[in-house]
Structure 1
C-alpha cells in the first residue's frame, strides 16, 4: 500500500514502482472481441448523427485523413528494455437539429484497409470483476510475466485523452478501423469508461487521467448528465477536472463528483514501452495547458497534436498588443498556446475557428511536415481565423472547404479542396 499512498504525490514519473503500479491497476489490454459500435449495422442513426451534425468532428476527421493517408505506413517506435531503463535513469525526478453538410466534393473511397493485426493478449474484463485498488479490474499478467508492447504490425500509435465512450466524437476510431492503428484511450469518468470497455476497441485503455503536474496526484472530476431520454454523450463529454471544487461551474443537467487518480504522460508511455506517438488527441476540458506544461517534449516524440482549447479571458491582453492583425482575427485563437507549441518545434497547421476551438499542430521534424512543403516564411504564423471562415453557433450550413486553411501546404491535396 506504500505505493498507493505515494501516488497522491509527489513521486517521480519514471519511478519503477509507479510504472508497475499503473500497469497493473490502471492499464487494460486491447480487447480481442468483435467490435460493438453504434456505427455498425444496424446503424444507430441518432447516435451517429455527429458525423454529419458536428462541424468540429468533420473538420478534424478531414485533416487526419489528409495527414495520415491510408497508404502511408507508420510504425510505432517502441522502447527496447535497455532504452527503457536508460530513460528511467536519465529522466529527472448531441445538437438539437442536424446541420446541412455540404462537402466540396463527393467523399472519396475509403482508403487504407489492411488485414487486421493480431491482438497480443486477450483484454476482456468482465464488468462484474473488481480490483482490490478500486472499482476497475486489474490486468492479468501474460504467461511470460511481461506486459506486451504494441504489436509491430500496428501501422501507427495514438493517444486520446478524454476518450468518452470510445466512439462518440472519437478522433482516433477511424484510424483504428481503416488503417489498423492501435493506441491508448484515457477516460477518467467511470460511467463513460465502462461503456468504452464495451466497445471492444483494439487499444489499451485507462480509467485514470493525465496529470497536470510532473508527478502523480489525485483530483476531483465533475461529471454532468440528465435523466432519462434527455441524457446524451455531449453532456458526458463536459466532465472536467475541478481546480476549485467548491466553485459551482456551469454544466448540463445534474453534477456529480469523483476522486480520480492522475499519472504523468511519461508514466503511461513507460508502462507501454512506447517512445513515439503519431497522433495525440487532447480533450481534457480546460486543463490542457497544464497537461502540456507537464509533458516531456524532450523525451517523447509526437508527430501531430489535436487539442481542444478555449482561450482564457486573461489572454485578451496578450492578443490586444499584436500590431500585425486586428483584434477580430484573434477572436478564438490563443496566442499563448500557439507560442508554447511553436517553441517546442511544432507548426501551427490549422484550427477550427469556433467558441470551443480545436488546434492542429505538426512536428517540424516529422515526415508529415516534410511532405507539406511549407515555405520558410509561413512556418511561424498567427491569426488563422482572420483568413478563413469562422463557425458561429447560429449557422446551419457547414461547407468544409471554407473552414480549412489552404495557404500553407501546397503539396497536400486535401479533402476540403
Structure 2
C-alpha cells in the first residue's frame, strides 16, 4: 500500500478498514478516495528502465524468448490488426507481472503513445514493474471476484532458476487466487514451490473510476481462472470497453481437487521446460473437448453487445471480443470484416 499526503488519522484508518473489507458499492465516494490515495501509483515521467536497457548478455536473450511464444505473437498480431492507425488509447492489463515479460500493452504504450492501468497481485513482481517506469497507472491489487472489495490469498510459484530469467518469470506467471481451483494452475501442473501472500482485491470499475476513466479501448485479462467472477460483477452499463483480450479455460471438477502430490518434486513438467514453459505453452492435460470454445463464456459477452473476433484454441484458449459499433468495430467493417459464429 502506498500513501500520498499527510499520515492518516485513527478515524481515517478505521474508515479505510471498513471500506476495504466490504461490502460497499464499487463506486462509493469514500472507497474511491481511499483507492486513489493508497492503491494507485501515477504514470512514470522518467525514462524507461526495461530489461534490455540494463543488460546485454545471455540472460537478456533468455528473458526475451517470450517474444517467440505463440499466444504472445497471437495477441501482437491481433492488436496490430485492431489498432493500426488508431489514435492513442487507454488500456488495462490485469496480470501485468513485471510490466515487461509477456506484456500485451508495452508496445502500445512505448511505440504508439498509449497509457493505461497495470494491475499485479504478486508484490515482488509489482515492485519490479514500478522500476520499469511504465507510462501508466499501476496498482498492487487483484481484481475483485465479488461485487465489492475483499481480501484474498494469492498463490505464487517460485523455482530455483538463478541463471535463467526466462524460466523464473514464466513460473511466476502461474500465480492465482487461492479461491480459484485451490490456487492450482489452469493446466493442473505444479511449476514450482508455492508461496502465499495476502492481497487486497478491488473491483475493476473501482480502480477505473478512481482515476476518472469510464471508457477503455482495450482490457487484457490474464488472471488464471478468476475471469468469469470478475466479469460477472463488471458494470457494463457504467464502463465502456471496446476490446477484451481474455485467457479462459473451462473448469472441470478435477481442477478443484488437484493437489501438489501430482508433482511432488515441485518442478516443471518435462514437456513444459525451456521455451514451452511460458504460461500459454503449459502442458495441457485436458481433453480435446475442453479445448473448444466455451459457448457460455462467449454468451456472457454477446449479451452485452460484443462479437467474438477471434479465439486461439490450442493449449489454454485466448479470446478476443469487440464491442459492436465501437470505433474498432467500425474500422473492421470498413475493411470488409464479418463476424463468424464460434466453433
Partners of 2:190 and 2:110 in 1: CA distance = 33
Aligned residues: 288
What is the deviation of 1:5? 2.3
Give, in whole Å, the separation in 2 of the partners of 1:247 and 1:35: 33
Query: Could you say which residue in structure 2 is the equivalent of 1:186?
Result: 119
Q: In angstroms, what is the RMSD of aligned CA positions?
A: 2.4
C-alpha contact (below 8 Å) 2:309/2:339 kept by paired residues: no
Of 67, 90, 98, which aligns to 1:51?
67
Q: Unaligned stretches of 5+ in structure 1?
A: 74-154, 315-326, 384-417
Contact 2:249–2:291 at 8 Å: present in 1 too? no
Q: How many angstroms apart in 1 are the aligned matches of 2:41 and 2:72? A: 27
Q: Name the structure 2 match of 1:2.
A: 14
Mapped partners of 2:89, 2:195: distance in 1: 36
| Other-structure match for 1:78 | none
Please give the alpha-carbon distance, in whole angstroms, between the structure 2 residues aligned to 1:3 and 1:245.
Answer: 33
Partner secondary structure for residue 249 of structure 2:
coil
Change (3 A) 1:371 1:239: same
Hey, what's the Cα distance between the residues in 2 that align with 1:331 and 1:67? 25
Other-structure match for 1:60: 75
Once the two structures are superposed, the pairs formed by residues 315-334 of structure 1 within 5 Å of their partners are 331-334=291-294
Q: How does 1:199-214 map to 2 (within 5 A)?
A: 199-214=132-147
1:226 to 2:159 alignment: yes
Q: CA deviation at 1:313?
A: 2.7
**Cα distance between partner residues in 2 of 1:247 and 1:63:** 30
Return the alpha-carbon distance in structure 2 between the equivalents of residues 196 and 267 of structure 1.
Answer: 21
- How far the C-alpha of 1:370 sits from its partner, in A, is 1.4
**How many Å separate the matches in 1 of 2:190 and 2:49?**
29
Pairs within 5 Å for 1:69-148: 69=84, 71-73=85-87
More helix by share: 2
- Structure 1 residue aligned with 2:31: 18
Cross-structure match for 1:113: none
Instruction: String of CA shifts for 1:116-135, please: whole Å, max 9, x gaps.
Output: xxxxxxxxxxxxxxxxxxxx
Structure 2 counterpart SS, 1:31:
coil
Work out whether residues 221 and 247 of structure 2, in 8 Å CA contact, stay in contact via their aligned partners in 1.
yes
By how many angstroms is 1:247 displaced?
Answer: 7.1
What residue in structure 1 maps to residue 319 of structure 2? 359
1:38 offset after TM fit, Å?
2.0
- 2:32 touches 2:209 (CA, 8 Å); kept in 1? yes
**TM-score for the superposition, normalised by structure 1:** 0.65
Q: Partner of 1:350 in structure 2? A: 310
Which structure is higher in RCO with an 8 Å CA cutoff and minimum separation 6? 1
Cα offsets for 1:353-397 (capped at 9, x unmatched): 2221111001112011112228999546121xxxxxxxxxxxxxx
Structure 2 CA distance for aligned equivalents of residues 177 and 37 of structure 1: 11
Q: Residues 328, 48 of structure 1: CA spacing in aligned structure 2 closer, same or farther, 3 A cutoff? A: closer
Task: Choose which of 248, 265, 268 in structure 2 pairs with 1:309.
Answer: 248
CA contact (8 A) 1:240 1:284 kept: yes
Superposition pairs of residues 263-412 of structure 1, within 5 angstroms: 263-313=202-252, 331-373=291-333, 379=339, 381-383=341-343
Sort the Cα spacing of 1:311 and 1:61 in 2 relative to 1 into closer, same or farther, 3 A. Answer: same
CA contact (8 A) 1:186 1:209 kept: yes
2: distance between equivalents of 1:313 and 1:203? 36
Query: Given the alignment, which residue of 232, 239, 262 partners 2:175?
Result: 239
